[in-house]
């Protein structure tokens, strides 16, 4: 139950961090924010750069490692089981289902990071790096 609450908290935090909210300036305000003017003058960098590719590659590689380690452990220890209650039904269904779910979650994390980086959020890398750490230590 603690892991489920932790996962729900992490997902909720990532959703809240990705929202592009500007409460100080109304949408119909004729006054422009100085940050908007500065961003328009800045030459935009590509969103998908080396850092983004590295974070995304590490995320998908750590997911693959986690899934394969789980199935290898299950093969050598028939009495062992997946302790993560969210992943347990997918592990029981087999590799294709587990990969589909795991890579689906990774795709959402990557999409969220892409949008955050596109809107010049400095902490866009937090989601992929955190998920990579969770998979690598599982």
How confident is the model over 119-132, as a mean pLDDT? 94
Our measurement of the distance from residue 44's CA atom to the centroid of its chain's CA atoms, rounded to an integer in Å, reads: 24
Q: Which of 126, 128, 74, 84 is nearest to 106 (CA)?
A: 128
Residue 130 has pLDDT above 90, yes or no: yes
pLDDT recorded at residue 100: 96
pLDDT recorded at residue 138: 75
Please report, in angstroms and rounded to a whole number, the separation of the first and last CA atoms in the chain. Answer: 17
Chain segment 3-20, per-residue pLDDT in tens: 555 555 555 555 555 555
pLDDT recorded at residue 27: 54
Chain segment 88-113, per-residue pLDDT in tens: 999 999 999 999 999 999 999 999 99
pLDDT recorded at residue 45: 81
């Amino acid at each position: 139950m603690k892991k489920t609450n932790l996962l729900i908290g992490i997902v909720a935090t990532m959703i809240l961090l990705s929202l592009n909210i500007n409460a100080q300036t109304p949408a119909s305000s004729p006054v422009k924010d100085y940050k908007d003017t500065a961003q328009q003058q800045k030459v935009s960098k590509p969103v998908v750069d080396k850092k983004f590719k590295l974070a995304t590659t590490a995320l998908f590689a750590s997911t693959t490692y986690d899934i394969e380690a789980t199935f290898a452990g299950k093969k050598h220890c028939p009495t062992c089981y997946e302790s993560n209650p969210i992943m347990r039904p997918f592990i029981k269904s087999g590799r294709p289902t587990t990969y589909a779910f795991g890579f689906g979650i990774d795709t959402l994390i990557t999409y969220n990071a892409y949008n955050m980086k596109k809107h010049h959020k400095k902490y866009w890398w937090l989601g992929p790096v955190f998920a990579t750490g969770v998979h690598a230590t599982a």
